[in-house]
Amino acid sequence: MDDRGGSFVAVRRISQGLERGNTCHSTSAEVVAGSTAWLGRGLSCVCAQSRESDARPSFDLTPSQEECLQRLQNRIDIAYDSSIPEHQEALRALWNAAFPEEELRGLISEQWKEMGWQGKDPSTDFRGGGFISLENLLFFATNFPKSFKDLLWKLEGDRSVWEYPFAVAGVNITFMLIQMLDLEAVSFNSTVKPRTMVGAVFLKFLSENESAFDLLYCITFKLMDHQWLAMRASYMDFNTVMKATRRQLERELLLEDITRLEDLPSYGLLTR
């Protein structure tokens, strides 16, 4: 507890000398404490800013594109509900993917802080991103396990003593992408059409790959960490890093020779 009565969250940083084959719950991890109250404010409002592009007219959609977009927006509308068995199982699956050799003692447990959640109950952190933010993390862990572990345990680069908390950062990335792609706008129609060129470009990828949002999430997470290292950032710089990540991602999505997400320059960071 701090002198204001707030609880603390542990953020682990693995020493660079550790071998990647070591188990994830190594006792040599350094533990960094930060105010939970500050963390909630500092890592949940990095993208809530109006942009000039918001005033652009919407783009017409083909029936196929509208169907794909509607399915994605339906996913975004689902709030995490700890009483739903499917949500509980997804959370357990995330733990097992991150810590396969460590048994989870409960869905509410101090163990969750090892992954970078603010407290012992991850459900409180999903409020900003919904169930899709859990699905994004699970997709990342399942499809790119090496990159997932590299980011979880901060295995690459010259790390800061005060590192960003992995899981909470992941929820912020989901939220940032929803805003960047204009997927949360209110509309009287059943489907919200994209109002930006970036949103329209993404919709093309989505119509060809229904997992496009999940894949873009993985690319963005890796790009964010790359920016973090390049900027030699620390805990207080998280918002600045997220803004830089968004700008770079928008630039890459608008490159003329990009025909699929795998063509993005930052995709190479995910697979190296």
Among 58-72, 85-99, 119-133, 139-153, the least confident range: 58-72
13 pLDDT tier (thresholds 50, 70, 90): very low
Average pLDDT score over residue span 250-270: 96
Of 253, 268, 172, 167, nearest to 212 by C-alpha is 253
Predicted local confidence at residue 34, as pLDDT? 31
Mean of all residue pLDDT scores within the chain: 80
Helix H or strand E segment including 219? helix 212-230
Integer Cα distance of 52 and 198 in angstroms: 13
Q: How many CA atoms does the CB half-sphere of 264 hold within 13 Å?
A: 27
pLDDT tens, residue by residue, 174-232: 999 999 998 875 444 556 677 889 999 999 999 999 999 999 999 999 999 999 999 99
| Amino acid in the structure at residue 252 | E
Tokens matching residue 68: 């794909």
Integer Cα distance of 112 and 154 in angstroms: 17
Predicted local confidence at residue 185, as pLDDT? 54
Report the DSSP beta bridge partners of residue 31.
Answer: 12
Q: Is 145 helix (H, G, I), strand (E, B) or coil?
A: helix
Position 90 pLDDT exceeds 50: yes
Integer Cα distance of 198 and 55 in angstroms: 13
Position 166 pLDDT exceeds 50: yes
Of 175, 5, 220, 168, nearest to 76 by C-alpha is 175
Average pLDDT score over residue span 66-75: 91
66 pLDDT tier (thresholds 50, 70, 90): confident
Integer Cα distance of 49 and 21 in angstroms: 42
Position 10 pLDDT exceeds 90: no
Tokens matching residue 102: 């460590």
Predicted local confidence at residue 149, as pLDDT? 95
Position 99 pLDDT exceeds 90: yes
Integer Cα distance of 203 and 198 in angstroms: 9
Among 89-103, 135-149, 164-178, 189-203, the least confident range: 189-203
Predicted local confidence at residue 257, as pLDDT? 92
Helix H or strand E segment including 33? strand 30-35
Predicted local confidence at residue 60, as pLDDT? 77
Average pLDDT score over residue span 52-71: 72
Cα–Cα distance list, 245 to 10, 205, 222 (Å): 25, 20, 10
Predicted local confidence at residue 161, as pLDDT? 83
pLDDT tens, residue by residue, 35-51: 333 234 344 434 434 44
58 pLDDT tier (thresholds 50, 70, 90): low
Report the DSSP beta bridge partners of residue 30.
Answer: 13
Position 133 pLDDT exceeds 90: yes
Per DSSP, the residues of 162-218 read SPPPHHHHHHHHHHHHHHHTT-S---SSSSPPP-SHHHHHHHHHHHH-TTHHHHHHH
